[in-house]
Copies of this chain bind each other. A is one copy, B any other.
């Protein structure tokens, strides 16, 4: 059924090798034969079998980005940065969504390794997972995106999350808040820990006790979890209730905000909110959201460049690149009228 090089060769009256040359080394073939072969290919609807190609030639022109949550605009923006860089070199990118589940991530990594993709960009569920070493040890380079990993066994690009957390908290402290909720989780996520740590650091720098940061744990960084956190926050007795919330990402912040708006809690008067990531929807929210911005596209572009270097450059050196986040102040933390 399927047309192969052999059929083309027969139909065009040339040898197998010549057909292959037309495909891979057009310069080695005389213009006349090349034209003939290409014509036949068109007529017969020849589609090269990439499996056979790759098996023989060993190379691969596809990379993959295994993303933690494809529905989070932050990651799709990073992906856009990656694609920009890859498209310029005629490489394809497959996106895989681990949905924050280690088993799904492992599954995808496995499949990708079996497929012998040229390289993998990964925002891992657990950056310390030993599987990552195994995979890159066997020859599939992995670049870690938006996370960091202890040691220098991999390239990585990330944002200084501790600093980000600090920025967020300093902003709130500046605005007079002293009792602040930290909403985020699960704590297994290194970023959540880092952002929390940064917040704590800012607090103690300001001479305040750590107990002023009320931790509200969530089981994921999603809008739905944000809404639930809002309920728990509302359940805290008035006197002890925080006047501001720092959310570990914008989805949580949006959920929190949504709940506040619908239950009549005024933002920022009753509760100031700071998010993290500054996704496009943050600025368009019910109350435009103050957020800690990460350079999403640059993150993606840089990650792609590191990966390409690792793929192509024999004396590649691993690099851990850290970008600096930036606080974008909006209405959700405007100083209260008093």
Contacts and interface: CB of A to CB of B under 8 A. Distances in A.
Interface of A: 1-2, 45, 47-55, 61-62, 64, 70-71, 73, 76-77, 79-80, 83, 87, 92-97, 99, 104, 107-108, 111, 113-116, 134, 137-139, 223, 254-255, 257-258, 261, 280-281, 283-288
A138 B2 contact: yes
A115 B1 contact: no
A286 B284 CA distance: 6
Contact of A92 (B111, B258, B284): B111
A95 B94 contact: yes
A114 B281 contact: no
29 contacts: A2-B139, A48-B114, A49-B114, A50-B114, A53-B114, A61-B111, A62-B111, A70-B76, A70-B79, A70-B80, A71-B73, A71-B280, A80-B97, A87-B104, A93-B96, A93-B97, A94-B94, A94-B96, A95-B95, A95-B97, A223-B284, A254-B281, A254-B284, A255-B284, A257-B284, A284-B285, A284-B286, A285-B285, A285-B286
Given A108-B92, A138-B45, A254-B281, A99 B83 contact: yes
